[in-house]
Amino acid sequence: MLQKVGNWNFDIFLFDRLTNGNSLVNLTFHLFNTYGLIELFQLDMVKLRRFLVMIQEDYHCQNPYHNAVHAADVTQAMYCYLQEPKLAETLTSCDILLGLLAAATHDLDHPGVNQPFLIKTDHYLAALYKNSSVLENYHWKSAVGLLRESDLLSHLPTEDKLNMEERLGSLFLAMDISRQNDYLSEFRTHLDKGELCLTNGGHRHFILQMALKCADICNPCRPWKLSKQWSEKVTEEFFHQGDIERKHNLEVTPLCDRQSNSVANIQIGFMAYVVEPLFVEWSRFSDTRLSMTMMSHLSLNKQGWKEGKDKQQASSSRVSEEQRTPATKDSNSKVLPQGSKGS
C-alpha cells in the first residue's frame, strides 16, 4: 500500500489497520527512506526507528482526532505537497527533512482540548507559554525533547542542530490558527506581487510553513468518504471538550456545544472561513492537477454537508409541524372512555 502513498486518495484509516496501529512509524520511515534522508544525514536506522516509535507513543490514542493517525495523515499530505513541481525542483534535503519532521510531530502530546480551554482552566501550559501559541510551543518543545532524547542528530555539529530546532519551531508556530489571517495575507501579497523566489531560503521556508498549514487542515479537500470520517472525529473531540466545560460550570466554547451545534454547521463554517481562503491561495501558487482535485473535493464536500443540513432541518420542521397540528378526529368514530376497552 505504501506504493500509493503519493496518491491524494490514500486511505490512512485502512493503512493504520493494516499496520496494526503503526501508520505513523511505517509511513514516516518509508518517506525518510524514499528521499534518501537516512543516507544523506547519516542517520542511525535503529535510532530513527526508536525516535518514530517515541513520537507515535506520545500521541494520545484516546483523542478522537488529535492522535497518531492524524499525524500520519498530515505527513502523507505533506509528502503530496513536497512532490508538487515548484517544491520538488527547489527544496533542499534539509527542507524536506524539516517538513516531514514537522508534519509527524506537529501535534505531539496534544491534550485533546484547545488553547482557550487551557487558559480559562489556568493550566500550567498556558502559564508556561504566557497564553501565546500555547499548544504550538508545547508541541515544538516536545518534538525537540524527543529529538535530543533519541540522539538521532547527535552526530551533527551543534550549530546545525540548534538551527534545525529553531526552524522546526518556526514551522510549528505558523500553525497557530489565531495567526491564520496574518500568514494568509502575507501569502496573498507575495502572490499578487509575483515575488516568491524559491531559490531564496527565506521564501522556501515560508512555503514550507504554508504547506504544513495546508496539510494540517486538508481533510475537507479529501474524498467525501475520508473527509466525513475526519469531520466526525474532530467534532466528537470538540463536543467532548464542551461536555467537560458544562460539567465544571465553565462557559461552553461555541464550537464545542453539542446542544447548539452540529457536524454540518461546524464543517460548513470551517470550510468557508478557514479552509477555502487558504487553498484558493495555495492553488494560485501551485496550479496543478492536485490543486484542482483538492478544490473539487472541497466544493463537493461543502455541498454534501449543506444538503445534509437542509434535509435535517426539513425533517425537524416536519416533525415540529406534526407535533403542533392536532390529529383530525373521525366524526363517525367512537371515543372510548378512559379505562374502557374496545370490543
E strand or H helix at 147: helix 134-150
Say which of 60, 66, 70, 139 is annotated catalytic.
66
| Cβ–Cβ < 8 Å for 149, 54 | yes
Q: What are phi and psi of 339, to 5 degrees?
A: 90, -10
Alpha carbon of 75 to those of 87, 118, 205, 261: distances in Å?
A: 16, 26, 17, 30
Which helix (H) or strand (E) segment is 216 a member of? helix 201-216
- Alpha-carbon distances of 343 from 67, 138, 296, rounded to whole Å: 63, 74, 64
Residue 249's alpha-carbon distances to 112, 152, 252, 323, 342, in angstroms, are: 19, 45, 8, 33, 52
CB 82 within 8 A of CB 195: no
Where b means 16+ CB within 10 Å and e means fewer, 112-123 reads bbbbbbbeeeee
Q: Which amino acid is at 341?
A: K
Cell numbers found for residue 87: 517544491
C-alpha angle 165-166-170 in degrees, rounded to nearest 5: 115
For the question of residue 66 being annotated catalytic, the response is yes
8 Å CB contact between 134 and 119: yes
Catalytic residues: 66
